[in-house]
Structure 1
């Protein structure tokens, strides 16, 4: 009986050590995240992308590869801490990759020109939004646009308006999922009339 008790205690100690090690590893990764470096990586990739010739659909393999690298970088932002660091860095960094952020700091959209016109994909939009389970990412479908601003409706929690130069789109978060919604004049009235940045 004594031997069984010792074995159970040993197993409990080992499991506790493994759990602590996992927690430490997770915290270490969070601390190692450098938001400025992440934005620099996106900037370098976008510069490489813009230097490629697309006449007669040239360099498509390389163009697709660069876009995939950019997508993976953005989709690696999976925690609120990383998201907050990225928001703070972007405000001082201002790279050519657009990152529109809501006033409440819970929702953001990356936008860039993909140069994949031959494949029917001119612009990439990836939304990042905070949930109780961390930060989720979602590619935005429909007509892609360069978004300059995101406004949140104080009367409707989880509802956001995405502003491009030509239109406003509504999105809502429900049960952790992002979906496009219709907007009305009352929704649009919550958006201020600050001038848009040039693309």
Structure 2
């Protein structure tokens, strides 16, 4: 037996399905970077308030983090990022935001307040490709990125250094990751000794009384990197110099 459906019922059903898809996939549109900062600040305030309560609802924490993720991943232009950057610098926030000088790479980092999930920190990077900003995750364990440096390589390519840190109790981890924008993608590149794509120091925080703090200091517009790593005697105190292609230890230049 063949079932038939009247045109009116079919059109009505199609309209309901279309409406449902729009509601389900709806993402708020923002007119400018100021609106995005206001929205993010509101979400992070909720996240902080909820996480400070006794026995916070983990499902609600996950939901707020998802709203934050969707908001960031929907940022589609360098213009919006520049506006976010201008507003970000005017006040304190519960998230970290860094933007490269050429506005081609941005990174948002924040504590998720999901302490027992194995996902304490979240990173989302946005990079410029085909006249739009593309969201992506970064390589390695997420940390709070707080600096981005760019310098020209010998072939005219731009090298990006993403610098960040993470602290637990009195321990401190510092890390710098090297990236290139290559063939429309953000890719790690072996810019450090031993063809490493990142450098890491482990040690103590400044406030710790257990020993001297570890650190990575980038100076001279990225041409010099100073390492202090109290938990690795081979890197107790070393400096790196950029030779136009990669970083080498200063002692190797002598």
Gaps of 5+ in 1: 1-28, 195-199
Aligned pairs for 1:112-151 (under 5 A) are 112-151=110-149
1:38-49 correspondence runs (5 A)? 38-49=36-47
2:144 is paired with a residue of what secondary structure? coil
SS across alignment from 1:115:
coil
For 1:104 and 1:56, how far apart are their aligned partners in 2?
44
Shift of 1:58: 4.3
SS at match of 1:51: helix
Separation in 2 of the partners of 1:80 and 1:142?
25
* Contact 2:129–2:185 under 8 Å retained in 1: no
TM-score, normalised to structure 1, is 0.70
- Cα-to-partner distance string for 1:62-82 (whole Å, 9 max, x where unaligned): 011000000111111112322
Q: What is residue 163 of structure 1 aligned with on the other side?
A: 163
Matched, 1:191 2:222: yes
Contact 1:79 1:134 in 2 (8 A): yes
The answer to whether the Cα contact below 8 Å between 1:171 and 1:178 also exists between their aligned partners in 2 is yes
Q: Would you say how many aligned residue pairs link Structure 1 and Structure 2?
A: 163
Taking the aligned partners of 1:90 and 1:192, their CA distance within structure 2 comes to 27
Asked if 1:181 is matched to 2:179, the reply is no
1-structure distance, mates of 2:48, 2:80: 27
Q: Deviations over 1:173-194 (max 9, x none)?
A: 2222222233326x97752789
**Aligned partners of 2:55 and 2:115: how far apart in 1?**
8
| Matched residue SS, 2:90 | helix
Q: Of Structure 1 and Structure 2, which has the larger fraction of its residues in helix?
A: 1
| TM-score normalised per structure 2 | 0.56
Instruction: Give the conservation status (yes or no) of the 8 Å contact 1:106–1:130.
Output: yes
1 or 2 for the larger relative contact order (CA 8 Å, sep ≥6)? 1
Cα RMSD after superposing both structures: 2.8
